[in-house]
Structure 1
């Protein structure tokens, strides 16, 4: 069996805050209510996505890595991560706000949960009028002040709130307190981890359990970065038909391509798989004389052994992700 561009069967996740935009905006196919997340490419244990197309249909990421090793994920990636696929790709639809939360670093996540940390980034695909999110603090606080705010349910007062619109991008390193607000649909790229410390959840009751969701403030307190930063939003170039740098972090590299017409991509110098996430429009990908379509809300993985592809579209916006 040879490697080729791979699509995966998404996993749909009920969330207390989930809406219906994954279906109405991204044409996802499910029947449940309150679906908040579509896990597009996942190697989280027990939550593995499987290949949807071609001869390798039904394979999980782990099985693909076991079979193809560096040809699938890149030799250096294989050397570093072995059979663990390092990234988790999602679409998220927040009908109501997510809990205010924070993620632990690689070191703490390894020590406490035998997991990767959870550095992540968000690309806003659609936002209702006046939609917003939380990223970091709006003033410097110490642990004592923070704990007082937590006790009095006023923690939102010291957090940085950003109005958002389509195209806005945020990098959320571990330690940064954050929350997606109501009315936001986004693409999320993150390390393979499902470790979240919930700080504040607006005293909501989960209709499925009849209870409030668990908070993790004792775990979170030593994880939080209490510093204030000048800018939480990522600025980027919007030139057409090139890979514009979006977020280049130690854990993943994401570029954005504004595609019009034909673009030949050469990955000869890239020792990594490539993931394309279509966040607007649609395109065709030609690879070894075969053609693959990619529409808004779809994701495809180009194995590391494939070094040239051709992209073609009247107009599409794509996130290009690698390690």
Structure 2
């Protein structure tokens, strides 16, 4: 691979989930008839996944455009190195440092935990998984579950799981379109029914499932990992949600030790610089409207589409909104 870095449009990876629906079709995803598509992996570079997550195999995004069409994001990373990542570091296994998805929760997603930093430090091969959810669509009354109610400990949580009343011990907030919810690795959480989100996360598929709403939805029983979840969880509250302003502009909606997420609302036909002085790559995900990414060459992105703009290009790249304007999520790994 000798092509110079250019913006990479990636092919989505669709995964059926018992809780999924068909609303991702409105975001340009090829949802088959009667399929329950819960996840569209927009940017992925995982050499292995958990059997309880994506089935145990590798999941690597395939490039759709340009000289590297048909190659994977992982192959582009190996070819371009710092030209792609800039000051960001690959994962410990040499993979792209972000995993980005669109989620459609027709039903409640399982109550789950990703390893806390302390748990991960004591278990070789286990990685943390910070997440941020930007609510794109939500039905009236939809909720985000994040964290335990104050005073709830491991014994009470274990009893709530056994009694089927986990909802009673979870904190929850309304799932409002335009709200962004940061979920530090280790927090007990669940995406409520009736919500579509953009999910930005560190690239890990390690998930411990506490409760799966089997009684509520008459679902097939899936394996639970109650004791592992109790050991891996952190007793922390979720940070308060941040919100996308209704007016044109750019704002930070999530910050973790591993990544930053911004939302850019663009007026019709406007042009905005992507990241003057930017030191790392940026993933552009279109939530509403359409944009053209100008970074040496022009790349058109419609609603739902995602592209990786290499670090070598971000300082001189720009976004041009379509005739209806655009709302764009901009995710970047942290330097170092």
**TM-score clears 0.5:** yes
Match of 1:198 in 2: 209
Q: CA deviation at 1:112?
A: 3.8
Aligned residues: 316
Name the Cα RMSD after superposition.
2.3
How far apart are 1:181 and its partner, in Å?
1.1
* Residue 273 (structure 2) pairs with residue 265 (structure 1): yes
1:27 matched to 2:28: yes
Deviation at 1:147, TM superposition (A): 2.1
1 CA distance for matches of 2:135 and 2:23? Answer: 13
The 5-angstrom pairing of residues 1-323 of structure 1 reads: 1-23=3-25, 25-31=26-32, 33-45=35-47, 46-78=58-90, 83-106=94-117, 108-109=119-120, 111-112=122-123, 114-203=125-214, 211-228=220-237, 232-235=240-243, 237=245, 240-241=248-249, 243-260=250-267, 261-265=269-273, 267=275, 269-288=277-296, 290-306=297-313, 307-313=315-321, 314=323, 315-323=325-333
TM-superposition CA deviations, 1:28-77 (whole Å, max 9, x none): 11326011100011011211111011111122122111111101111442
- 1:149 aligns to what SS in structure 2? helix
Question: What secondary structure is seen at the aligned counterpart in 2 of 1:8?
Answer: strand
Taking a change above 3 Å as real, the CA distance of residues 309 and 164 of structure 1, as seen in their structure-2 partners, is: same
| 1:51–1:60 contact (8 Å) kept in structure 2 | yes
Conserved 8 A contact 2:131-2:200: yes
- Where does the alignment leave 5 or more consecutive residues of structure 1 unmatched? none
**Secondary structure class of the residue paired with 1:246:** strand
After the TM superposition, which of the residue ranges 133-142 and 97-106 deviates more from structure 2?
133-142
| SS of residue matched to 1:222 | helix
Preserved CA contact (<8 Å) 1:254 1:320 = yes
2:116–2:187 CA contact under 8 A, matched in 1: no
Distance 1:65 1:161, change over 3 A: same
1: CA distance between counterparts of 2:123 and 2:131?
A: 19
1:125-181 deviation per Cα after TM superposition (whole angstroms, max 9, x unaligned): 111122222111233212222222222222210111222221111001111111111
Mapped to 2, the partners of 1:204 and 1:171 lie a distance apart of 28
The answer to whether the 8 Å contact 1:284/1:293 transfers is yes
The structure-2 alpha-carbon separation of the partners of 1:154 and 1:11, relative to structure 1 and needing over 3 Å to count, comes to: same
Runs of 4+ in 1 over 6 A off after TM superposition: none
User: Structure 1 pair 239/16, CA: closer, same or farther in 2 (3 Å)?
Assistant: same
- Higher mean C-alpha displacement, 231-240 vs 80-89: 231-240
Instruction: Indicate conservation of the 8 Å contact 2:85/2:280, yes or no.
Output: yes
Q: Report the TM-score when normalising by structure 2.
A: 0.87
Gap runs ≥5 in structure 2: 48-57
Cα gap change, 1:77 to 1:268, in 2 (>3 Å): farther
Using a 3 Å threshold, how does the CA distance of structure 1 residues 108 and 137 change in structure 2: closer, same or farther? closer
SS in structure 2 opposite 1:271? coil
CA contact (8 A) 1:7 1:300 kept: yes
* TM-score, length basis structure 1: 0.90
> Contact 1:283 / 1:311 at 8 angstroms: preserved in 2?
yes
Deviations 1:268-307 (A, max 9, x none): 532211111111111122222x221112211111001102
Report if the CA contact (8 A) 2:210-2:225 is conserved. Answer: yes
